[in-house]
Amino acid sequence: MVDEAAKPTLSDNDLLQRHLDGDVRAFAALVERYRTELFAFLARFTGDAALADDIFQETFLQLHLSAAVFDMTRRLKPWLFTIAANKARDALRSRTRHPAAPLDAALPGGGADATTFAELIPSNIPAPDETVVNLETRRIVQSIVNDMPESLRTVIVLCYFHEFAYKDIAEMLELPLGTIKSRIHTAVQLFAQRWKAAVGRTGHE
């Protein structure tokens, strides 16, 4: 039997409305829909797989608690990522650092064929099992992003890793569009400088 709540033809807002109407499967379908993408965002944002998993759960708890006040004329995805980004910033400011999971650790709940943390970091390089150099390259990318100032890390993760439009990022971060454009420009320049320096040290091309 097909689970109607999990049908891909149902929009995020449809699923949230069904949740508000008492359909317990609808919220589970929303969680599953964003399990990989939202965890990937949080893992890149925090650089810590264990912390990302905690924030993922807190984000959906907040979504559940705040669902009734959501404006259904708006898209749910930017709001969901706004909640996640806010919780990630709060966690990074106040936490006692968790031990970071290694890049080859599997995502929680993924089973035998789980995606690894390394695979969450997209780039124009070969798949992670092809070469050892590839894994080192991914480590460099992660390190550069992690070491960026929070304001720049946030926009580059949202823009380049998750392909949000500038206007969506401006709405999510409650900042003027011009500020977002400026920060993305600065973030890209900083990434390029640090990438060039890192590649020079390691000898990778």
Domain 121-205 belongs to what topology?
A: Arc Repressor Mutant, subunit A (1.10.10)
Rounded to a whole number of angstroms, the CA Rg of the chain reads 18
- 198 or 67, greater pLDDT: 67
* Contact criterion met (CB below 8 Å) for 158 and 169: yes
Three-state secondary-structure class, residue 156: helix
**Pair of tokens at residue 170:** 């401006």
* Contact criterion met (CB below 8 Å) for 55 and 39: no
pTM: 0.64
pLDDT tens, position by position, 155-183: 988 888 788 889 888 888 888 999 999 99
Exposure string over 4-19, b if 16+ CB within 10 A, otherwise e: ebeeeebebbbbbbbb
pLDDT tens, position by position, 24-38: 899 999 999 999 999
Domain 1-108 belongs to what topology?
A: Rna Polymerase Sigma Factor; Chain: A (1.10.1740)
